[in-house]
Amino acid sequence: MTSKARWRYIPLILWAIFVIFPLYWVLITAFKDNRSIYGGAKFIPFVDFKPDLGAWASILGGDNSILGPLWHSLLAVTLSTLIAMFVGTAAAYGLARYDLKLAWMGSRDISFFIISQRMMPPIVAVMAYFILFRQIRLLDTIAGMTVVYTGFTLPLVVWFMQNYFRQVPVSLEEAARTDGASRFMIFWRISVPLTTPGLIATFLLAFSFSWNDFLFAVMLTQTRATTLPIAIAQQQGQLGTAWWNICAISLISMVPMIAAAIVLQKRLVTGLLGGSER
Amino acid sequence: MTAGAGAGVQGSRSRRRVGDGADSPDGGRQRAAKRERTAGWGFVLPAVMVLLLLNTFPLVYSLLLSFTRVDTSTGLQIGEFTLGNWTSLMHDGQFWGSVSFTVVFTVIAVVVEYGVGLCLALLLRESLAGAGFFRVLFAIPMMLAPVAIGFMWRMLYDQSNGPIDAVLRGLGLGSPGWLSGSHLAVVSVVIMDVWEWTPLMFLLLLAGLQAIPTEVIDAARVDGASALQVVVRIIVPMLAPVSVTAIFLRMIDSFQVFGQLFLLTGGGPGTATTSTTLFGFFQGFQSFDLGYGAAIALSLLVLVIVVSTLFLSLSRRMLQRVET
């Protein structure tokens, strides 16, 4: 094992370098000023260039304050994810536990209808949203973005939660049932708590999808509801590109994702694969 | 190891339902079953309604849009019925160019990501000091926003101030001009995608690998199979269902690539890296021809449906062969 395994570090370390270096570059660029960026590549802070906090001052309340977009993002993404989680978890439970029939369609067909929505490219919906939102005055509003992101993440929630519910044994539910608990109570008090790890994983994944979205936001927001990815894109202006700001905002927008990664660890993968690994 | 194919759409075959096995006379049971169904709809209906409203309705609306001429001069009035968008789309070289870029990009990126992801997962399958560190590290890139990734690689590829060319210059090599040649630009874009999405492949395949019972592999080893034989003959076939899910997921997302390209290359040089979504965006929102944009978007949907149906039926046949 020992001598045989050691060679494996070589490819692993090489890939690690490939992964880390771009991130490192973003990190140091967030502390560069105009002079340190233009005029050749500068690799090491304090040696090659003097770290500068200008970008951070500028985006946290300065000329390029991102506090607005940060707030819009947090509000629209959190709200939509919560709604999608609530509606989607119920649907996933219904599909996993009941044999539904609608004309020729059974549970499987309905489940396929919901999950297949993931295949629809967002660009298809966004054209229609643009015109419809103009008519009902939802363009460039946080409410509008909440609506869009709810539809965007709902299929994902149903898909994941269905897999989690199938892993939960039904015996507990049957016991509660003979005790006379209502269907909704069984769902809410017994089944949902049993899938807590799955709930967390699904919430975080759905959150990250909306959090990182660019297509919907770039087309449906202008000023009042711009999100963080738009704030990043806006740093590229007519007067040149503020690379230091771009990097600083990118780092800030990574914070929730890193937190998610720490909570998630293995759970995300179990959710994606469902029961297939057992 | 049967579910998970078809992107986990179908679940395990032997799932039990609440209310199964309630022993009552047949008539009562039928009535009970009907009541069960009604109760089930209570859970499912809200989601179906939301999706009909937020996904199906926009889809139908886009379909209508693609058959009308949207007049921007009078404040986005929807004009009369026309087939014009579709006929000009069929003859639009730029559109077909964007389709062929999207397909080429998807195929190369997904193949590379699968290969690298599988290798990394195999390397980390057995316990290794520091495995946890590598696992977390390798997952980070997929968490970044596509916008941030597009800008990031633009800095890295930069000819005068970027680190890659600085290193190449240090080695006495010239700059290849990462984003200026139309062929190399495609490669550069693929590198970015591999950086971003190999993590997902890696995580999924690692989970699949860890589910393979070690006895199977040990037994093959005892029988004198080499490490390579074990991988090719045992691990890869047993990983097939997970592989199908992973490839399918990546394929669908890759067909829709937008943000990264928009900021890294803007579709250039020329139209060399214009994906279909990017082309639809340019036509619909920069030239403000929403009818044409809708037609482009819908053809992308058709492409996704055709390719995924083909892929899923092919892989289902393949999986059956593996199982027998």
pLDDT at A246 over 80: yes
Q: Decide which of A136 and B3 is more confident.
A: A136
CA closest to B76 among chain A residues: A131
Grade residue B13 by pLDDT with cuts at 50, 70 and 90: very low
Task: Flag if A119 and B304 touch (Cβ within 8 Å).
Answer: yes
CA closest to B201 among chain A residues: A269
Mind telling me how many Å the CA of A13 is from chain B's nearest CA?
Answer: 9
Mind telling me how many Å the CA of B126 is from chain A's nearest CA?
Answer: 9
Query: Is the Cβ–Cβ distance between A211 and A257 less than 8 Å?
Result: yes
Residue B274 touches partner A, C-beta closer than 8 Å: no
pLDDT of B32 reads 62
With tokens 């190999």, the residue in question is B198
Mind telling me how many Å the CA of A38 is from chain B's nearest CA?
Answer: 6
Sign of CA dihedral A263, A269, A271, A275: negative
Distance CA A170, CA A262 (A): 30
List own/partner pairs for A222-226 with CB under 8 A and 24 or more apart.
Answer: A222/A139, A222/A140, A223/A140, A224/A140, A224/A141, A224/A142, A225/A72, A225/A76, A225/A140, A225/A141, A225/A142, A225/A144, A225/A145, A226/A68, A226/A69, A226/A72
Query: Chain A residues with CB inside 8 Å of B71's CB?
Result: none
Amino acid at site A8? R
**Residue A214 burial (CB count, 10 A):** 24
Q: Which CATH number fits domain A67-236+255-277: 1.10.3720.10, 1.10.150.110, 3.20.20.80, 1.10.340.30?
A: 1.10.3720.10
pLDDT of B207 reads 84
Grade residue B71 by pLDDT with cuts at 50, 70 and 90: low
Task: Flag if B58 and A111 touch (Cβ within 8 Å).
Answer: no
pLDDT at B12 over 60: no
Residue percentage of chain B with pLDDT more than 70? 85
Q: Decide which of B37 and B84 is more confident.
A: B84
Distance CA B105, CA B264 (A): 15
* pLDDT (mean) for A244-250: 92
Grade residue B72 by pLDDT with cuts at 50, 70 and 90: low
Residues 172-211 of chain B whose Cβ lies under 8 A from any Cβ of chain A: 195, 203-204, 206-208, 210-211
**Residue A236 burial (CB count, 10 A):** 16
ipTM of the complex: 0.87
Task: Flag if A130 and B290 touch (Cβ within 8 Å).
Answer: yes
pLDDT of A45 reads 83
Six token digits for residue B1: 């190891």
With tokens 């591999």, the residue in question is B194
Mean pLDDT of chain B: 84
CA closest to B212 among chain A residues: A277
Query: Is the Cβ–Cβ distance between A115 and A158 less than 8 Å?
Result: yes
pLDDT at B87 over 50: yes
Indicate the pTM of the whole model.
0.86
Residue B300 touches partner A, C-beta closer than 8 Å: yes
pLDDT of A4 reads 64
Residue B18 touches partner A, C-beta closer than 8 Å: yes
* pLDDT (mean) for A47-61: 85
pLDDT of B324 reads 64
Nearest beta carbon to residue B252 from set A118, A130, A134: A118
Least confident of A10-14, A96-100, B141-145: A96-100
β-strand pairing of A101-102 with A105-106: antiparallel
pLDDT at A32 over 50: yes
Nearest beta carbon to residue B41 from set A100, A118, A273: A100
Residue percentage of chain B with pLDDT more than 90? 46
Task: Flag if A275 and B145 touch (Cβ within 8 Å).
Answer: no
Mind telling me how many Å the CA of B105 is from chain A's nearest CA?
Answer: 16
Chain centroid, CA B106 distance in Å: 8
pLDDT of A228 reads 94
With tokens 């029988």, the residue in question is B223
Burial (0-12, 13-18, 19+ Cβ within 10 Å), B177:
middle
pLDDT of B97 reads 95
Beta strand residue intervals within A192-270, DSSP E: 236-237, 240-241
Q: Decide which of B154 and B7 is more confident.
A: B154
Distance CA A147, CA B18 (A): 33
pLDDT of A268 reads 57
pLDDT at B19 over 60: no
Summarize pLDDT for B231-281 with one digit per residue, the tens: 888 888 888 888 988 899 899 999 999 999 999 999 989 899 999 999 999
Least confident of A27-31, B208-212, B264-268, B295-299: B208-212
Summarize pLDDT for B146-172 with one digit per residue, the tens: 999 999 999 999 988 889 998 998 898
Nearest beta carbon to residue B161 from set A40, A100, A118: A40
pLDDT of B59 reads 94
* Per-residue H/E/C for A91-153: HHHHHHHCCCEECCEEHHHHHHHHHHHHHCCHHHHHHHHHHHHHHCCCCCCHHHHHHHHHHHH
Q: Which of B16, B52, B55, B209 is the mutation pick for testing A, counting most A CBs within 10 A?
A: B55
Task: Flag if B163 and A212 touch (Cβ within 8 Å).
Answer: no
pLDDT at B53 over 50: yes
Mind telling me how many Å the CA of B209 is from chain A's nearest CA?
Answer: 9
Q: Which of A56-70, A93-107, B101-115, B209-223 has the highest mean pLDDT?
A: B101-115
Query: Is the Cβ–Cβ distance between A219 and A138 less than 8 Å?
Result: no
Domain ranges of chain A: 2-52, 67-236+255-277
Grade residue A215 by pLDDT with cuts at 50, 70 and 90: very high
Q: Which of B96-110, B204-218, B246-260 has the highest mean pLDDT?
A: B96-110
Summarize pLDDT for B287-302 with one digit per residue, the tens: 888 889 999 999 999 9
Mean pLDDT of chain A: 86
Task: Flag if B8 and A276 touch (Cβ within 8 Å).
Answer: yes
Grade residue B119 by pLDDT with cuts at 50, 70 and 90: very high
Summarize pLDDT for A160-213 with one digit per residue, the tens: 898 888 877 888 888 888 888 888 888 988 888 888 878 888 888 899 889 999
Query: Is the Cβ–Cβ distance between B216 and B234 less than 8 Å?
Result: yes
Q: Which CATH number fits domain B94-323: 1.10.10.10, 1.10.645.10, 3.40.640.10, 1.10.3720.10?
A: 1.10.3720.10
